[in-house]
Amino acid sequence: MRAITIPEPGDADSLVLDEVPDPVAGAGQVLIDVVAAGVNRADVMQRLGHYPPPPGASEYPGLEVSGRIAAVGDGVEQWQVGDEVCALLDGGGYAERAVAPAEQVLPVPRGVSLVDAAGLPEVACTVWSNVFLVANIQPGQVLLVHGGSSGIGTMAIQLAKAVGAHVAVTAGSAEKLDVCRELGAEFLVNYKEEDFVERLHELTKALATNGRLVTIGLMGGRRGELDMGMLLAKRGAVIATSLRARPATEKAAIVAAVREHVWPLIEAGDVRPVIQSRHPLEHAAEAHREMEASGHIGKILLTT
């Protein structure tokens, strides 16, 4: 099969389309004929040599795909050859075939195309696990999403809105904020022009009393200063998580929760994948350049 490989870390042109051996579904796994793969910041970090795949994962980039089941490994009963699915992977999505643990596979939600379903697993699992399972957002509370127009942000806005939370966002342009508003954000801050902490005082405080600050990305840098006294006075929490590093059992539980809670919202039309662009697999470098330019809104996909 053909797959995108990274012979040497570096710029986007380090992504090389190559002929490689087909992966094989082991016990508890499925083999997927990939139709599309989502592009993630983690893939960019991996390409740069800063984010090696975890032990046992494919060495090729790609954390999510959609496609059809081509084979099932021993012990897999919930999926059959030919099923149209999307899946959260440990790696190897930028390829014509990929292997996924059966418990990290989801059906394509009704109303979503097989290609666009590739943009769902990573954002749905990241947002559900952080905003709902970790931060335990409640109806009527305020969720502030930094990077509101990002792949993650576009899903976070819609899911929080769907459960009756109020959504505030930051983003870097008026065009991006317009999309955030269309998706359900009520409070919009262009962080390049305004101080979000000051603006947010019109609505709440950042951080609110009993607030939860959940860090999932480090695009603004890995270090910051925190006044622990203020955190204590506000009874606040600071939490940071990474989906890829979680053990398989935790990923399976998150995928099951996403199927139970998020898939019905998508099938009802309350939540939709927001897709910026679809590039052929052989143009993976172009897709990475598009992501690194940061002008996109929503997800960038590769198609086989």
List contacts with ligand NAP (CB under 6 A). Answer: 40-42, 122, 126, 146-147, 149-152, 171-173, 176, 191, 216-217, 219-220, 241-243, 291, 294
Rounded (10°) CA dihedral 183, 187, 192, 193: 130
Minimum distance from residue 29 beta carbon to ligand NAP (Å): 22
Q: Which is nearer to ligand NAP, 60 or 128 (CB)?
A: 128
Minimum distance from residue 67 beta carbon to ligand NAP (Å): 20
CA proximity to 102, closest of 124, 125, 80, 123: 80
Minimum distance from residue 4 beta carbon to ligand NAP (Å): 17
Q: Which is nearer to ligand NAP, 176 or 212 (CB)?
A: 176
Q: Cβ-count burial of 64 within 10 angstroms (0-12 exposed, 13-18 middle, 19+ buried)? A: buried
Minimum distance from residue 110 beta carbon to ligand NAP (Å): 25
Minimum distance from residue 22 beta carbon to ligand NAP (Å): 28
How many Å apart are CA 262 and CA 242, to the nearest integer?
Answer: 20
Q: Which is nearer to ligand NAP, 25 or 89 (CB)?
A: 89
Q: Which is nearer to ligand NAP, 146 or 279 (CB)?
A: 146
| Residue with nearest beta carbon to ligand NAP | 217
Q: Which is nearer to ligand NAP, 31 or 254 (CB)?
A: 254
Q: Which is nearer to ligand NAP, 152 or 160 (CB)?
A: 152
Minimum distance from residue 232 beta carbon to ligand NAP (Å): 26
